[in-house]
Structure 1
């Protein structure tokens, strides 16, 4: 088979390599063309060198091109994969830093909360540009696979306003299932069968079966509480399991952002999180991790390049959805996964226009969702809070209505639990002004926002958060990796 795959934001080096090698695990895909595009020539050069090394080491006819001209990369592409981070780590730092001044402590801040909403405002104009290019220069019927957060907002905008065949992809469901399989003592993750449904980062394991035997709430609670590691790292998720009756896909830290009962007071934050790794609740944890990862890659690039010379092992193909979807569409080998699509009746007790994440099957006829799923009421209620924020956020990003943007932020569960309306109004003004270069739809509103900020009497504070860690140096990272290697 010979067709073209374009990857936008290909400078996300580690993830791009994973997608690339996964796809090349499919024997029929040896002759495909990968067109990489990114704003950074530096990042493009590094990832192209790595992928060229993979191709050479494995004796493949695969073609890899790289260009900063996005339309050129998209010309004739059958599949377009996006893993962009609009504004980079600089804008992301503001997503964490500015809300902290108003008492809002986020672990990740890329889905909802103040940070996730502003992230969506930066992404959506760019997503619509992608969609315009896809409609105009990509292959007829091209499919857009979005990996970028905020997943639901980006996918919502691409489908409703971009008018492109779009599916959103995430790995939270797979990671949650791996945890459950481990605590239940499964010899393989394939022994666990499950139905997981909801919205991205708030998906719920509503049916669990181990080797055909249904797993109930009490058995799952006991298994998690008996686990020597997860019992400490996932305290919040276990508490939600006890109260809701089902396990959430999302990490301890990320879940705490959507359920404000666990993150609205500093003393409560430290009670429920675990500091053994960023993902369990650390303030600005993902920002620190992303910064360290980028610094490490830049410094240790020769090692990454050397590792690319190893043979591709199909046994190590990851459970990221992209390669499996492409394989199913092109070869008709049926694939079952969890996909972010417009609801349209898939989940009976969520709105029709919402972007849901739920099970589906892929074959040559496309992605076919399993319809008629009803969530437990508490799960649906939690999802609804986010859906309403997402809808307003998307509409604000499209219209450039700063008042609607402020209302979206005000209705965010964590923001509303911590901040007053006056604080929210000022915080949004401050974030829009700070990120104006990435928010063209709000250019008309920036002068007035600056004027309001100059006269505002709302007090803020310089606060690092309840559980902040500093970015580690390369030397510190080396020492930690050496210690882990020695211990393991």
Structure 2
């Protein structure tokens, strides 16, 4: 088979390499062309050198091109994959820093909450530009695979306003299933069957079967509480399991941001999180991790280039959805996964226009969702709170309506649990002014926001958060990796 795959934001080097090698694990895809595009020529050069090394080492006819001209990369593409982070780490730092001044402590801040909503405002105009290019220069009927967060908002905008065939992809379901299989003592994850449904980052394992035997709440709670590691790392997640009766896909730190109960008081935050790794609830944890990862890659690039010389091992193909979707669409080998699409009746007790994440099957006819799923009422109620925020956020990003943006932030569950309306109004003004370079739709609102900030009497504080860690140096990272290697 010979067709073209364009990857936007290909400078996300590690993830791009994973997608690339996964796709090349499919024998029929040896002749595929990969067109890489990114704003950074530096990053593009690094990732192209790595992928060229993979092609050379495996003696493949695969073609890899790289350009900062996005339309050129998209010309004739049958599939377009996006893994962009609009504003990079500079804007992301403001997503964490500014809300902290108003008492809002986020672990990740890329889905909803104050940081995720502003992230969506930066992303959506760019997503619509991608969609325009796809409609105009990509292959007829090209499919857009969005990996970028905020997943639901980006996918909502691409489908509703971009008018492009879009699916949102995430790996939270797979990771949650791996945990469940482990605590239940499964010899392999293939022994576990499940139905997982909801919205991205709030997806729920509503039916679990281990070798065909149904697993209930009490058995699952006991299994997690008996696990020597997860019982400490996933305290909040286990508490939600006890109260809701079903396990969430999302990590302890991520889940804590979407609920109004666990991160609203500093003393409560430290009770529920675990500091063994950023993902379990550390303040600004993903920002720290992303910064360290970037610095590590820049410094240790020769090692990454050398590792690219190893043969591709199909047995190590990852469980990221993209390669499996392409394989099913092109070869008709059916694939079952969990996909972010417009609801349209798939989940009976969520709105029709919402972007849901739920099981589906892929073959030559496309992505076919399993319809008629009803969530437990508590799960649906929690999802609804986020959906309402997402809808307002998308509409604000499209219209440039700063008042609607403020209402979206005000209605966010965690923000509403922590901040007053006056604080929210000032915080949004401050975030929009700080990120003006990436918010063209709010250009008309920036002068008035600056004027309001100059006269505001709302008090803020300089606060690092309840559980903040400093970015580690390259030397510290090397020492830690060496210690882990020595330990086993």
- TM-score calculated relative to the size of structure 2: 1.00
The equivalent residue for 1:230 is 230
Deviation track 1:98-142 (CA, whole Å, cap 9, x = no partner) reads 000000000000000000000000000000000000000000000
Q: Distance in 1 between matches of 2:241 and 2:409?
A: 27
Q: Distance in 2 between matches of 1:306 and 1:92?
A: 31
Q: CA deviation at 1:20?
A: 0.1
Q: Distance in 2 between matches of 1:78 and 1:261?
A: 44
Q: Distance in 1 between matches of 2:275 and 2:468?
A: 9
Q: Distance in 2 between matches of 1:262 and 1:49?
A: 45
Q: Is 1:327–2:327 an aligned residue pair?
A: yes
Q: Is 1:257–2:257 an aligned residue pair?
A: yes
Q: Distance in 2 between matches of 1:63 and 1:180?
A: 40
Q: CA deviation at 1:239?
A: 0.3
Deviation track 1:201-245 (CA, whole Å, cap 9, x = no partner) reads 000000000000000000000000000000000000000000000
Q: CA deviation at 1:311?
A: 0.2
Deviation track 1:39-75 (CA, whole Å, cap 9, x = no partner) reads 0000000000000000000000000000000000000
Deviation track 1:308-345 (CA, whole Å, cap 9, x = no partner) reads 00000000000000000000000000000000000000
Q: CA deviation at 1:260?
A: 1.7
Query: Gapped runs of 5+ residues in structure 1?
Result: none
Q: Distance in 1 between matches of 2:53 and 2:291?
A: 26
Deviation track 1:444-465 (CA, whole Å, cap 9, x = no partner) reads 0000000000000000000000
Deviation track 1:429-452 (CA, whole Å, cap 9, x = no partner) reads 000000000000000000000000
In structure 2, the residue corresponding to 1:351 is in which secondary structure? coil
Q: CA deviation at 1:361?
A: 0.1
Q: CA deviation at 1:364?
A: 0.2
The equivalent residue for 2:153 is 153
The equivalent residue for 1:318 is 318
In structure 1, the residue corresponding to 2:118 is in which secondary structure? helix
In structure 1, the residue corresponding to 2:65 is in which secondary structure? strand
Q: Distance in 1 between matches of 2:263 and 2:426?
A: 22
Deviation track 1:393-415 (CA, whole Å, cap 9, x = no partner) reads 00000000000000000000000
In structure 1, the residue corresponding to 2:256 is in which secondary structure? helix
Q: Distance in 2 between matches of 1:463 and 1:384?
A: 31
The equivalent residue for 1:417 is 417
In structure 2, the residue corresponding to 1:459 is in which secondary structure? coil
In structure 2, the residue corresponding to 1:260 is in which secondary structure? coil
In structure 2, the residue corresponding to 1:262 is in which secondary structure? coil
Q: Distance in 2 between matches of 1:411 and 1:318?
A: 37
Q: Distance in 1 between matches of 2:187 and 2:104?
A: 42
Aligned residue runs from structure 1 range 71-220, under 5 A = 71-220=71-220
- Higher mean alpha-carbon deviation, 336-345 vs 258-267, is at 258-267
The equivalent residue for 2:53 is 53
Q: CA deviation at 1:147?
A: 0.1
Q: Distance in 2 between matches of 1:234 and 1:419?
A: 26
Q: Distance in 1 between matches of 2:259 and 2:434?
A: 28
Q: Distance in 2 between matches of 1:440 and 1:477?
A: 38
In structure 2, the residue corresponding to 1:361 is in which secondary structure? strand
Q: Distance in 2 between matches of 1:382 and 1:192?
A: 26
Measured on the aligned residues, the alpha-carbon RMSD in Å equals 0.2
Q: CA deviation at 1:173?
A: 0.1
Q: Distance in 1 between matches of 2:169 and 2:361?
A: 14
Q: CA deviation at 1:259?
A: 1.0
Q: Is 1:22–2:22 an aligned residue pair?
A: yes
Q: CA deviation at 1:9?
A: 0.1
Q: CA deviation at 1:80?
A: 0.1
Q: Distance in 2 between matches of 1:393 and 1:261?
A: 22
Q: Distance in 2 between matches of 1:240 and 1:414?
A: 16
Aligned residue runs from structure 1 range 255-294, under 5 A = 255-294=255-294
Q: Distance in 1 between matches of 2:343 and 2:453?
A: 40
